[in-house]
Amino acid sequence: MAARRIAAAAGVADHRFVSMPQLMELSDMKSRKGFGGLPPTYIPMKNAIYYGLAAAYAEETRSSRIVAGHNREDTMVFEDTGDEFFLHLEKALLAGSQRLRRNRMKLWRPLGEMSKTEVVSLAERLGVPLELTWSCHLEGTEHCWRCQGCVARQKSFASAGIPDPLMPKKTKNV
């Protein structure tokens, strides 16, 4: 699993996994009525759930930062990655925990103003092991290079002018 490999490379001391098999993407739901404009990979209220779990961990460990990796392009598609959502979520979390208030917990989005291309360039400059990253929406041992995540990855690496270490030689960048 890419998350385990990249966390190990970064020296993460306490990496926890929570299983949530009941969460569904739009593509798996019986009805998509009322979800207009959202991609099939959208998971209803995903970020309220994920950051609630992160806040529980922050409360337990007295952490003062929860770091979110959303970029500017995410906010154009998913309302639950934008300024409004994070502003109110942070307020709600702080209102619910004296311990979080005492530790001045902040939801931090360092990539929030950057495009995916800028994120790839920054990652390369910082020496991020890009060969350990995962963008595909499908499970497996290799990227499919056809899904929305794979297509966005190819475009971002191409426009950053950085060769993707995971790109098979026979597949051309889009």
Q: Would you tell me which residues interact with Zn ion (CB under 5 A)?
A: 136, 144, 147, 150
| Cβ 140 to Zn ion shortest distance, Å | 8
The Cβ-side half-sphere exposure at 62, using a 13 Å CA radius, reads 2
Nearer to Zn ion, 54 or 150 (CB): 150
| Cβ 149 to Zn ion shortest distance, Å | 5
Q: Which residue has the tokens 């995962």?
A: 134
Nearer to Zn ion, 150 or 166 (CB): 150
Nearer to Zn ion, 83 or 131 (CB): 131
Phi, psi of 114 (to 5 degrees): -100, 150
| Cβ 144 to Zn ion shortest distance, Å | 4
| Cβ 41 to Zn ion shortest distance, Å | 10
Q: Which residue has the tokens 């800028």?
A: 118
Nearer to Zn ion, 105 or 150 (CB): 150
What is the C-alpha separation between 60 and 134, in angstroms, rounded? 29
Q: Which helix (H) or strand (E) holds 107?
A: strand 106-108
Give the CA diameter of the chain: 55
